[in-house]
Structure 1
Amino acid sequence: VAKGVRKTRSKFGGRLEPTSHVAVQLYAGRGDLDIVTQAETIDRFESLRLDADRFADSSALLEVVDVVSPDREPDERRYRMLLGALRTLDERPTALVVPAFYLKLLAHEGLAPQLDACVRCGNGSPLVAIDVGEGGVLCDACRRGRPVSEPALAVLRAILGGGLSDALEVADPGVCREVDAVATTVAEYHLERRLRSRRAMGHA
Protein backbone atom coordinates (compact mmCIF):
# COMPACT_ATOMS: atom_id res chain seq x y z
CA VAL A 1 0.00 0.00 0.00
CA ALA A 2 1.35 3.43 -0.97
CA LYS A 3 -0.33 6.01 1.26
CA GLY A 4 -1.23 9.28 -0.46
CA VAL A 5 -0.01 8.10 -3.84
CA ARG A 6 -2.96 9.75 -5.61
CA LYS A 7 -2.32 13.18 -4.12
CA THR A 8 -0.83 15.80 -6.45
CA ARG A 9 2.15 16.36 -4.17
CA SER A 10 2.69 12.75 -3.25
CA LYS A 11 6.36 12.00 -2.69
CA PHE A 12 5.95 8.95 -4.91
CA GLY A 13 4.64 10.99 -7.87
CA GLY A 14 4.69 8.82 -10.99
CA ARG A 15 7.17 6.34 -9.58
CA LEU A 16 4.55 3.69 -8.94
CA GLU A 17 2.95 3.82 -12.39
CA PRO A 18 2.16 0.45 -14.00
CA THR A 19 5.16 -1.10 -15.83
CA SER A 20 7.70 1.11 -14.01
CA HIS A 21 10.74 -0.71 -12.65
CA VAL A 22 11.28 0.63 -9.15
CA ALA A 23 13.18 -0.14 -5.98
CA VAL A 24 10.89 0.15 -2.97
CA GLN A 25 11.31 0.10 0.77
CA LEU A 26 8.45 -1.49 2.66
CA TYR A 27 7.21 -1.31 6.22
CA ALA A 28 5.59 -4.51 7.40
CA GLY A 29 2.00 -3.62 8.11
CA ARG A 30 -0.79 -5.60 9.66
CA GLY A 31 -2.02 -8.69 7.89
CA ASP A 32 -0.89 -9.09 4.29
CA LEU A 33 -0.58 -5.39 3.44
CA ASP A 34 2.84 -3.76 3.62
CA ILE A 35 3.30 0.00 3.39
CA VAL A 36 5.57 1.62 0.80
CA THR A 37 7.82 4.08 2.63
CA GLN A 38 10.30 4.81 -0.15
CA ALA A 39 10.39 4.34 -3.92
CA GLU A 40 13.15 5.05 -6.42
CA THR A 41 12.72 4.71 -10.17
CA ILE A 42 15.13 2.39 -11.98
CA ASP A 43 13.47 2.47 -15.40
CA ARG A 44 10.21 4.15 -16.37
CA PHE A 45 9.68 2.21 -19.61
CA GLU A 46 7.95 5.31 -20.94
CA SER A 47 7.02 3.82 -24.32
CA LEU A 48 5.00 1.07 -22.63
CA ARG A 49 2.61 3.67 -21.24
CA LEU A 50 2.56 6.02 -24.24
CA ASP A 51 1.80 3.37 -26.88
CA ALA A 52 -1.55 1.58 -26.56
CA ASP A 53 -0.39 -1.71 -28.08
CA ARG A 54 2.74 -1.87 -25.94
CA PHE A 55 0.73 -1.02 -22.83
CA ALA A 56 -1.71 -3.85 -23.62
CA ASP A 57 1.15 -6.29 -24.13
CA SER A 58 2.93 -5.22 -20.94
CA SER A 59 -0.35 -5.58 -19.03
CA ALA A 60 -0.60 -9.14 -20.33
CA LEU A 61 2.89 -9.89 -18.98
CA LEU A 62 2.09 -8.40 -15.58
CA GLU A 63 -1.21 -10.27 -15.35
CA VAL A 64 0.24 -13.72 -15.99
CA VAL A 65 3.10 -13.16 -13.53
CA ASP A 66 0.65 -11.96 -10.90
CA VAL A 67 -1.46 -15.09 -11.40
CA VAL A 68 1.43 -17.57 -11.29
CA SER A 69 3.33 -15.99 -8.37
CA PRO A 70 2.43 -17.10 -4.83
CA ASP A 71 2.25 -14.28 -2.28
CA ARG A 72 5.48 -13.60 -0.40
CA GLU A 73 7.44 -16.23 -2.31
CA PRO A 74 10.11 -14.37 -4.31
CA ASP A 75 11.47 -15.97 -7.47
CA GLU A 76 14.57 -14.26 -8.88
CA ARG A 77 14.39 -16.09 -12.19
CA ARG A 78 10.75 -15.16 -12.77
CA TYR A 79 11.54 -11.55 -11.89
CA ARG A 80 14.43 -11.41 -14.36
CA MET A 81 12.30 -12.98 -17.08
CA LEU A 82 9.59 -10.35 -16.62
CA LEU A 83 12.08 -7.51 -16.57
CA GLY A 84 13.71 -8.80 -19.75
CA ALA A 85 10.35 -9.10 -21.52
CA LEU A 86 9.34 -5.56 -20.53
CA ARG A 87 12.67 -4.25 -21.77
CA THR A 88 12.21 -6.06 -25.08
CA LEU A 89 8.74 -4.53 -25.48
CA ASP A 90 10.20 -1.12 -24.70
CA GLU A 91 13.14 -1.34 -27.09
CA ARG A 92 12.09 -3.63 -29.97
CA PRO A 93 8.49 -4.80 -29.68
CA THR A 94 7.39 -7.70 -31.86
CA ALA A 95 4.18 -9.69 -32.13
CA LEU A 96 5.68 -12.69 -30.33
CA VAL A 97 7.03 -11.13 -27.13
CA VAL A 98 3.94 -11.98 -25.08
CA PRO A 99 3.35 -15.55 -26.35
CA ALA A 100 7.07 -16.28 -26.05
CA PHE A 101 7.00 -15.06 -22.46
CA TYR A 102 3.99 -17.25 -21.67
CA LEU A 103 5.82 -20.31 -22.98
CA LYS A 104 9.10 -19.51 -21.24
CA LEU A 105 7.28 -18.87 -17.99
CA LEU A 106 5.43 -22.18 -18.28
CA ALA A 107 8.75 -23.92 -18.92
CA HIS A 108 10.17 -22.29 -15.80
CA GLU A 109 7.23 -23.70 -13.85
CA GLY A 110 7.77 -27.16 -15.37
CA LEU A 111 4.67 -26.94 -17.57
CA ALA A 112 6.08 -26.61 -21.09
CA PRO A 113 4.24 -28.59 -23.79
CA GLN A 114 5.95 -31.55 -25.45
CA LEU A 115 6.80 -30.49 -29.02
CA ASP A 116 9.27 -33.05 -30.37
CA ALA A 117 7.13 -36.18 -30.69
CA CYS A 118 3.53 -37.30 -30.47
CA VAL A 119 2.56 -37.42 -26.80
CA ARG A 120 0.38 -40.47 -27.42
CA CYS A 121 2.43 -42.79 -29.62
CA GLY A 122 5.88 -41.20 -29.74
CA ASN A 123 5.85 -40.78 -33.51
CA GLY A 124 8.12 -37.96 -34.62
CA SER A 125 6.30 -36.88 -37.78
CA PRO A 126 4.14 -35.57 -39.18
CA LEU A 127 2.97 -33.63 -36.13
CA VAL A 128 -0.24 -31.84 -37.01
CA ALA A 129 -2.06 -30.83 -33.81
CA ILE A 130 -1.56 -29.81 -30.21
CA ASP A 131 -3.79 -30.79 -27.31
CA VAL A 132 -3.15 -29.03 -24.01
CA GLY A 133 -4.92 -31.73 -22.04
CA GLU A 134 -2.64 -34.37 -23.52
CA GLY A 135 0.39 -32.19 -22.83
CA GLY A 136 1.71 -31.52 -26.31
CA VAL A 137 1.68 -32.29 -30.01
CA LEU A 138 -0.02 -35.18 -31.77
CA CYS A 139 0.64 -36.99 -35.04
CA ASP A 140 -1.89 -37.38 -37.83
CA ALA A 141 -3.05 -40.77 -36.56
CA CYS A 142 -3.63 -39.50 -33.01
CA ARG A 143 -4.73 -35.98 -33.87
CA ARG A 144 -7.15 -34.08 -31.68
CA GLY A 145 -7.27 -30.61 -30.21
CA ARG A 146 -5.98 -27.57 -32.10
CA PRO A 147 -4.33 -27.94 -35.54
CA VAL A 148 -0.78 -26.60 -35.68
CA SER A 149 1.18 -25.82 -38.84
CA GLU A 150 4.82 -26.76 -39.37
CA PRO A 151 5.98 -23.11 -39.44
CA ALA A 152 4.20 -22.37 -36.16
CA LEU A 153 5.58 -25.55 -34.60
CA ALA A 154 9.08 -24.51 -35.65
CA VAL A 155 8.64 -21.16 -33.88
CA LEU A 156 7.28 -22.84 -30.75
CA ARG A 157 10.30 -25.12 -30.68
CA ALA A 158 12.68 -22.20 -31.19
CA ILE A 159 11.15 -20.29 -28.28
CA LEU A 160 11.56 -23.23 -25.91
CA GLY A 161 14.76 -24.60 -27.41
CA GLY A 162 17.22 -21.74 -27.16
CA GLY A 163 16.29 -19.86 -30.33
CA LEU A 164 14.25 -17.08 -28.73
CA SER A 165 16.01 -14.19 -30.49
CA ASP A 166 15.39 -15.69 -33.92
CA ALA A 167 11.80 -16.55 -33.01
CA LEU A 168 11.05 -12.96 -32.03
CA GLU A 169 12.05 -11.82 -35.52
CA VAL A 170 9.31 -13.88 -37.22
CA ALA A 171 6.98 -11.44 -38.95
CA ASP A 172 4.50 -13.68 -40.80
CA PRO A 173 1.09 -12.54 -39.45
CA GLY A 174 -0.52 -15.96 -39.77
CA VAL A 175 2.29 -17.75 -37.96
CA CYS A 176 2.34 -15.09 -35.23
CA ARG A 177 -1.40 -15.42 -34.65
CA GLU A 178 -1.12 -19.20 -34.50
CA VAL A 179 1.75 -19.15 -32.01
CA ASP A 180 -0.09 -16.55 -29.93
CA ALA A 181 -3.24 -18.67 -29.87
CA VAL A 182 -1.35 -21.80 -28.84
CA ALA A 183 0.62 -20.03 -26.11
CA THR A 184 -2.45 -18.32 -24.68
CA THR A 185 -4.48 -21.54 -24.71
CA VAL A 186 -1.72 -23.51 -22.99
CA ALA A 187 -1.23 -20.78 -20.38
CA GLU A 188 -4.94 -20.52 -19.61
CA TYR A 189 -5.24 -24.30 -19.30
CA HIS A 190 -2.49 -24.55 -16.70
CA LEU A 191 -3.51 -21.39 -14.84
CA GLU A 192 -7.15 -22.53 -14.89
CA ARG A 193 -8.41 -19.07 -15.77
CA ARG A 194 -8.85 -16.76 -18.73
CA LEU A 195 -6.21 -14.09 -19.19
CA ARG A 196 -8.29 -10.93 -19.38
CA SER A 197 -5.55 -8.65 -20.70
CA ARG A 198 -4.96 -10.89 -23.71
CA ARG A 199 -8.61 -11.61 -24.44
CA ALA A 200 -9.47 -7.90 -24.27
CA MET A 201 -7.17 -7.32 -27.26
CA GLY A 202 -8.86 -10.06 -29.28
CA HIS A 203 -6.04 -12.61 -28.99
CA ALA A 204 -6.56 -16.41 -29.01
Structure 2
Amino acid sequence: MSRSSFASKSYRTPAIVLRTHKLGEADRIVVLLTPSHGQVRAVAKGVRRTSSKLGATLEPFMLVDAQISTGRSLHVVTQAQIRSPYGQRLAADYRSYTAAHAMAETTERLTEEDHDAAAQYRLLHGAFAALARGDHDPSLVLDSFLLRSVATAGWTPSFSRCVRCGSPGPHAAVNVPLGGVVCADCRPAGSLSPAAETIGLLDALLTGDWPRAATAQAPARREAANIVSGYLQWHLERVVKSLEHVERA
Protein backbone atom coordinates (compact mmCIF):
# COMPACT_ATOMS: atom_id res chain seq x y z
CA MET A 1 0.00 0.00 0.00
CA SER A 2 1.21 3.46 -0.78
CA ARG A 3 2.35 5.55 2.15
CA SER A 4 0.70 8.60 0.61
CA SER A 5 -2.67 9.76 1.91
CA PHE A 6 -5.45 10.19 -0.63
CA ALA A 7 -8.12 12.86 -0.61
CA SER A 8 -10.69 10.64 -2.32
CA LYS A 9 -11.71 7.00 -1.95
CA SER A 10 -10.97 6.21 -5.59
CA TYR A 11 -8.37 7.41 -8.06
CA ARG A 12 -7.15 6.69 -11.57
CA THR A 13 -3.49 6.42 -12.37
CA PRO A 14 -0.99 5.01 -14.84
CA ALA A 15 0.87 2.11 -13.25
CA ILE A 16 3.50 -0.52 -13.97
CA VAL A 17 2.80 -3.99 -12.62
CA LEU A 18 5.87 -5.07 -10.64
CA ARG A 19 4.70 -8.37 -9.22
CA THR A 20 1.61 -10.45 -8.50
CA HIS A 21 0.84 -13.34 -6.17
CA LYS A 22 -2.18 -15.47 -5.47
CA LEU A 23 -4.79 -14.61 -2.86
CA GLY A 24 -7.47 -17.16 -2.08
CA GLU A 25 -8.99 -19.16 -4.90
CA ALA A 26 -9.64 -16.46 -7.50
CA ASP A 27 -7.90 -13.22 -6.49
CA ARG A 28 -4.41 -11.80 -6.76
CA ILE A 29 -2.44 -9.20 -4.88
CA VAL A 30 -0.85 -6.85 -7.38
CA VAL A 31 2.16 -4.66 -6.59
CA LEU A 32 2.02 -1.52 -8.73
CA LEU A 33 4.36 1.41 -9.20
CA THR A 34 2.62 4.70 -9.92
CA PRO A 35 4.15 8.11 -10.66
CA SER A 36 2.00 10.05 -8.17
CA HIS A 37 1.05 7.57 -5.46
CA GLY A 38 4.27 5.60 -5.19
CA GLN A 39 4.18 1.86 -4.66
CA VAL A 40 0.65 0.49 -4.28
CA ARG A 41 -0.41 -2.96 -3.14
CA ALA A 42 -3.92 -3.81 -4.28
CA VAL A 43 -6.28 -6.75 -4.62
CA ALA A 44 -7.47 -7.68 -8.09
CA LYS A 45 -10.63 -9.65 -7.40
CA GLY A 46 -11.58 -12.63 -9.54
CA VAL A 47 -8.69 -12.22 -11.98
CA ARG A 48 -7.76 -15.89 -11.87
CA ARG A 49 -11.15 -16.90 -13.24
CA THR A 50 -11.18 -17.62 -16.97
CA SER A 51 -14.03 -15.14 -17.40
CA SER A 52 -12.07 -12.25 -15.90
CA LYS A 53 -11.26 -9.35 -18.22
CA LEU A 54 -8.52 -8.13 -15.86
CA GLY A 55 -6.51 -11.34 -15.78
CA ALA A 56 -4.34 -10.69 -18.84
CA THR A 57 -4.13 -6.98 -18.11
CA LEU A 58 -2.65 -7.15 -14.62
CA GLU A 59 0.36 -9.28 -15.48
CA PRO A 60 3.95 -8.40 -14.51
CA PHE A 61 5.62 -5.62 -16.52
CA MET A 62 2.37 -4.34 -18.07
CA LEU A 63 1.87 -0.58 -18.25
CA VAL A 64 -1.78 0.07 -17.45
CA ASP A 65 -4.32 2.73 -16.62
CA ALA A 66 -5.83 1.57 -13.34
CA GLN A 67 -8.87 2.63 -11.36
CA ILE A 68 -8.13 1.99 -7.70
CA SER A 69 -10.33 2.15 -4.61
CA THR A 70 -8.51 2.84 -1.36
CA GLY A 71 -8.67 0.52 1.63
CA ARG A 72 -7.18 0.29 5.10
CA SER A 73 -4.59 -2.40 4.42
CA LEU A 74 -4.91 -3.10 0.71
CA HIS A 75 -6.43 -1.11 -2.12
CA VAL A 76 -8.65 -2.71 -4.76
CA VAL A 77 -8.13 -2.51 -8.53
CA THR A 78 -11.61 -2.05 -9.96
CA GLN A 79 -10.66 -1.39 -13.60
CA ALA A 80 -7.52 -1.56 -15.71
CA GLN A 81 -6.69 -0.96 -19.35
CA ILE A 82 -3.42 -1.77 -21.09
CA ARG A 83 -1.37 1.22 -22.24
CA SER A 84 1.72 -0.74 -23.35
CA PRO A 85 1.81 -4.57 -23.34
CA TYR A 86 5.43 -4.83 -22.25
CA GLY A 87 4.74 -8.08 -20.43
CA GLN A 88 3.66 -9.86 -23.60
CA ARG A 89 6.65 -8.61 -25.58
CA LEU A 90 9.22 -9.39 -22.90
CA ALA A 91 7.88 -12.88 -22.30
CA ALA A 92 8.80 -13.73 -25.90
CA ASP A 93 12.52 -13.30 -25.19
CA TYR A 94 14.00 -15.12 -22.19
CA ARG A 95 16.98 -12.80 -21.69
CA SER A 96 14.73 -9.73 -21.73
CA TYR A 97 12.23 -11.45 -19.46
CA THR A 98 14.80 -12.31 -16.79
CA ALA A 99 16.29 -8.81 -17.01
CA ALA A 100 12.82 -7.31 -16.51
CA HIS A 101 12.28 -9.46 -13.41
CA ALA A 102 15.50 -8.13 -11.88
CA MET A 103 14.48 -4.56 -12.73
CA ALA A 104 11.04 -5.00 -11.18
CA GLU A 105 12.42 -6.56 -7.99
CA THR A 106 14.99 -3.78 -7.62
CA THR A 107 12.36 -1.11 -8.16
CA GLU A 108 10.04 -2.72 -5.62
CA ARG A 109 12.81 -2.66 -3.00
CA LEU A 110 13.83 0.92 -3.76
CA THR A 111 10.27 2.29 -3.64
CA GLU A 112 9.22 0.58 -0.40
CA GLU A 113 10.07 3.83 1.39
CA ASP A 114 8.92 6.13 -1.44
CA HIS A 115 12.40 6.97 -2.75
CA ASP A 116 11.37 9.45 -5.48
CA ALA A 117 8.80 7.08 -6.95
CA ALA A 118 8.06 9.36 -9.90
CA ALA A 119 11.68 9.22 -11.07
CA GLN A 120 11.85 5.47 -10.51
CA TYR A 121 8.63 5.07 -12.49
CA ARG A 122 10.04 7.01 -15.45
CA LEU A 123 13.28 5.05 -15.30
CA LEU A 124 11.54 1.67 -15.25
CA HIS A 125 9.11 2.71 -17.99
CA GLY A 126 12.04 3.67 -20.23
CA ALA A 127 13.96 0.48 -19.45
CA PHE A 128 10.99 -1.78 -20.22
CA ALA A 129 10.40 0.12 -23.45
CA ALA A 130 14.06 -0.32 -24.46
CA LEU A 131 13.91 -4.05 -23.70
CA ALA A 132 10.66 -4.44 -25.64
CA ARG A 133 12.10 -2.64 -28.68
CA GLY A 134 15.33 -4.60 -28.55
CA ASP A 135 17.36 -1.39 -28.72
CA HIS A 136 20.39 -2.84 -26.92
CA ASP A 137 21.68 -6.04 -25.40
CA PRO A 138 19.35 -6.91 -22.47
CA SER A 139 22.29 -7.33 -20.09
CA LEU A 140 23.55 -3.84 -20.86
CA VAL A 141 20.07 -2.36 -20.44
CA LEU A 142 19.76 -4.13 -17.08
CA ASP A 143 23.11 -2.97 -15.72
CA SER A 144 22.52 0.58 -16.93
CA PHE A 145 19.12 0.54 -15.24
CA LEU A 146 20.52 -0.79 -11.96
CA LEU A 147 23.20 1.90 -11.80
CA ARG A 148 20.69 4.64 -12.58
CA SER A 149 18.04 3.34 -10.19
CA VAL A 150 20.52 3.31 -7.30
CA ALA A 151 21.67 6.79 -8.33
CA THR A 152 18.06 7.99 -8.38
CA ALA A 153 17.64 6.65 -4.85
CA GLY A 154 20.50 8.89 -3.73
CA TRP A 155 23.61 6.72 -4.10
CA THR A 156 25.21 8.01 -7.29
CA PRO A 157 28.43 6.17 -8.22
CA SER A 158 31.33 7.74 -10.07
CA PHE A 159 33.51 6.01 -12.62
CA SER A 160 35.26 9.07 -14.01
CA ARG A 161 36.50 10.86 -10.86
CA CYS A 162 37.94 9.56 -7.61
CA VAL A 163 35.05 9.23 -5.16
CA ARG A 164 37.27 10.40 -2.28
CA CYS A 165 39.27 13.35 -3.60
CA GLY A 166 37.50 14.11 -6.88
CA SER A 167 40.60 13.88 -9.05
CA PRO A 168 39.75 13.16 -12.69
CA GLY A 169 40.48 9.72 -14.10
CA PRO A 170 41.13 7.39 -15.61
CA HIS A 171 41.75 5.46 -12.38
CA ALA A 172 42.61 1.78 -12.08
CA ALA A 173 40.68 0.75 -8.95
CA VAL A 174 37.02 0.48 -7.94
CA ASN A 175 35.78 0.43 -4.36
CA VAL A 176 32.19 -0.80 -4.12
CA PRO A 177 31.37 0.53 -0.61
CA LEU A 178 32.73 3.97 -1.52
CA GLY A 179 30.78 4.01 -4.77
CA GLY A 180 33.17 4.02 -7.69
CA VAL A 181 36.75 4.58 -8.81
CA VAL A 182 39.52 5.61 -6.45
CA CYS A 183 42.90 7.07 -7.32
CA ALA A 184 46.19 5.49 -6.24
CA ASP A 185 46.52 7.86 -3.27
CA CYS A 186 42.98 7.25 -1.96
CA ARG A 187 42.72 3.54 -2.70
CA PRO A 188 41.74 1.60 0.46
CA ALA A 189 42.41 -2.06 1.10
CA GLY A 190 39.92 -4.38 -0.54
CA SER A 191 39.47 -2.30 -3.67
CA LEU A 192 39.00 -4.08 -6.99
CA SER A 193 41.34 -3.79 -9.97
CA PRO A 194 39.08 -4.27 -13.01
CA ALA A 195 40.22 -3.90 -16.58
CA ALA A 196 40.27 -0.38 -17.98
CA GLU A 197 37.62 -1.45 -20.50
CA THR A 198 35.35 -2.49 -17.62
CA ILE A 199 35.62 0.90 -15.92
CA GLY A 200 34.91 2.60 -19.23
CA LEU A 201 31.84 0.41 -19.69
CA LEU A 202 30.54 1.22 -16.20
CA ASP A 203 30.86 4.93 -16.93
CA ALA A 204 29.10 4.50 -20.29
CA LEU A 205 26.22 2.57 -18.70
CA LEU A 206 25.77 5.20 -16.00
CA THR A 207 25.80 8.10 -18.45
CA GLY A 208 23.82 6.40 -21.22
CA ASP A 209 26.66 6.38 -23.75
CA TRP A 210 25.27 3.45 -25.73
CA PRO A 211 27.69 3.59 -28.71
CA ARG A 212 30.60 3.22 -26.26
CA ALA A 213 28.82 0.53 -24.22
CA ALA A 214 28.03 -1.53 -27.31
CA THR A 215 31.73 -1.89 -28.17
CA ALA A 216 32.58 -3.57 -24.85
CA GLN A 217 33.69 -7.18 -25.13
CA ALA A 218 32.23 -10.10 -23.18
CA PRO A 219 34.90 -10.18 -20.39
CA ALA A 220 34.33 -6.49 -19.63
CA ARG A 221 30.56 -6.98 -19.64
CA ARG A 222 30.79 -9.85 -17.17
CA GLU A 223 33.16 -7.98 -14.89
CA ALA A 224 30.99 -4.86 -14.99
CA ALA A 225 27.86 -6.90 -14.20
CA ASN A 226 29.52 -8.32 -11.08
CA ILE A 227 30.50 -4.84 -9.88
CA VAL A 228 27.00 -3.49 -10.51
CA SER A 229 25.47 -6.42 -8.63
CA GLY A 230 27.81 -5.85 -5.69
CA TYR A 231 27.04 -2.13 -5.60
CA LEU A 232 23.30 -2.79 -5.67
CA GLN A 233 23.51 -5.40 -2.91
CA TRP A 234 25.65 -3.09 -0.76
CA HIS A 235 23.00 -0.37 -0.75
CA LEU A 236 19.91 -2.56 -0.61
CA GLU A 237 21.53 -4.65 2.13
CA ARG A 238 19.95 -7.72 0.57
CA VAL A 239 20.33 -9.90 -2.49
CA VAL A 240 18.15 -9.27 -5.54
CA LYS A 241 17.16 -12.89 -6.11
CA SER A 242 16.07 -12.34 -9.70
CA LEU A 243 19.64 -11.51 -10.70
CA GLU A 244 20.53 -15.18 -10.17
CA HIS A 245 18.30 -16.11 -13.11
CA VAL A 246 19.43 -13.43 -15.56
CA GLU A 247 20.82 -15.01 -18.69
CA ARG A 248 23.95 -13.18 -19.77
CA ALA A 249 25.35 -13.26 -23.29
Q: TM-score, normalised by structure 2?
A: 0.73
| Cα separation, partners in 2 of 1:121 and 1:102, compared to 1, 3 Å | same
Mark the runs of 5 or more structure 2 residues left unpaired by the alignment: 1-42
Query: What letter is aligned with 1:9?
Result: S
- C-alpha root-mean-square deviation of aligned residues, in Å? 2.3
Per the alignment, residue 147 of structure 1 pairs with 193
| Cα separation, partners in 2 of 1:197 and 1:121, compared to 1, 3 Å | same
Q: Do structure 1's residue 187 and structure 2's residue 232 form an aligned pair?
A: yes
Per the alignment, residue 34 of structure 1 pairs with 75
Structure 1 residue 16: Cα displacement: 0.7
User: For residues 127-164 of structure 1, what are the alpha-carbon distances to aligned partners after superposition, in whole Å with 9 as ceiling and x for unaligned?
Assistant: 22211222321234526322222111112222333x43
Partner of 1:137, secondary structure, is strand
| Cα separation, partners in 2 of 1:130 and 1:9, compared to 1, 3 Å | same
Query: What letter is aligned with 2:82?
Result: T
Q: Tell me which of 156, 172, 177 is aligned to 1:112.
A: 156
Structure 1 residue 117: Cα displacement: 3.2
Structure 1 residue 166: Cα displacement: 2.4
CA distance in structure 2 between the partners assigned to 1:128 and 1:110 by the alignment: 25
More strand per residue: 1 or 2?
Answer: 2
Per the alignment, residue 125 of structure 2 pairs with 83
More helix per residue: 1 or 2?
Answer: 1
| Cα separation, partners in 2 of 1:26 and 1:56, compared to 1, 3 Å | same
Pairwise mapping of residues 1-204 of structure 1 onto structure 2 (< 5 A)?
1-31=43-73, 33-45=74-86, 46-70=88-112, 75-92=117-134, 93-94=136-137, 95-120=139-164, 124=168, 127-140=171-184, 142=187, 144-161=190-207, 163-201=208-246
Query: What letter is aligned with 1:5?
Result: V
State how many pairs are aligned: 201
Mark the runs of 5 or more structure 1 residues left unpaired by the alignment: none
Q: TM-score, normalised by structure 1?
A: 0.87
CA distance in structure 2 between the partners assigned to 1:123 and 1:39 by the alignment: 51
Which contiguous aligned blocks of 4+ residues in structure 1 show a shift greater than 6 angstroms? Answer: none
**Contact kept in structure 2, 1:170 and 1:176, CA below 8 Å:** no
CA distance in structure 1 between the partners assigned to 2:215 and 2:103 by the alignment: 20
